[in-house]
C-alpha cells in the first residue's frame, strides 16, 4: 500500500483571529517540510522551515497547546498556495 501524500496529511487548524479580525491558521512544521534532508538535526530542520515560512508571511506559533506550529494570517483558500510556495523554497 502506498503512503498518503503529505498534502492529504496536512492539518490546518483555525485559531483565534488577530487583533484586526483577520483569520489565522496553524500548520505543523513537519507538514511543511517536503522531505527529510540528510545530515541535519531536528533544530536545524525546524529553523530551515521557519525561514522559508517567514518568506511567505508565516510566523512561529507560540502556544503551549500546539508545539512546533507555524501560523499564517490568511483565509483557508489561500493556505494550499502558501504551503506549496514554502515547499518550493525548501526544495
- Please give the chain's pLDDT, 91 residues, in tens: 333 345 555 788 888 998 999 999 888 888 888 777 788 888 899 999 999 889 888 899 988 877 888 998 888 788 788 888 888 888 7
CB 20 within 8 A of CB 12: no
Written as nine digits, the cell of 28 is 505543523
Tally of residues, the chain: 91
Residue 16 is placed in which grid cell? 483565534
| Cα 1 → chain centroid | 27
Question: What is the model's pTM?
Answer: 0.76
14, 30, 78, 79, 83 from 45: Cα distances, Å: 24, 9, 25, 21, 16
Beta bridge partners of 11: none
Domain map (residue ranges) of the chain: 6-90
Amino acid at each position: 500500500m502506498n503512503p498518503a501524500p503529505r498534502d492529504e496529511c496536512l492539518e490546518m487548524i483555525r485559531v483565534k483571529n488577530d487583533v484586526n479580525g483577520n483569520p489565522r491558521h496553524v500548520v505543523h512544521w513537519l507538514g511543511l517540510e517536503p522531505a527529510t534532508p540528510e545530515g541535519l538535526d531536528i533544530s536545524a530542520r525546524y529553523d530551515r522551515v521557519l525561514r522559508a515560512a517567514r518568506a511567505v508571511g508565516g510566523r512561529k506559533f507560540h502556544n503551549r497547546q500546539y508545539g512546533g506550529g507555524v501560523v499564517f494570517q490568511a483565509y483557508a483558500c489561500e493556505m494550499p498556495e502558501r504551503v506549496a510556495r514554502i515547499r518550493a523554497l525548501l526544495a
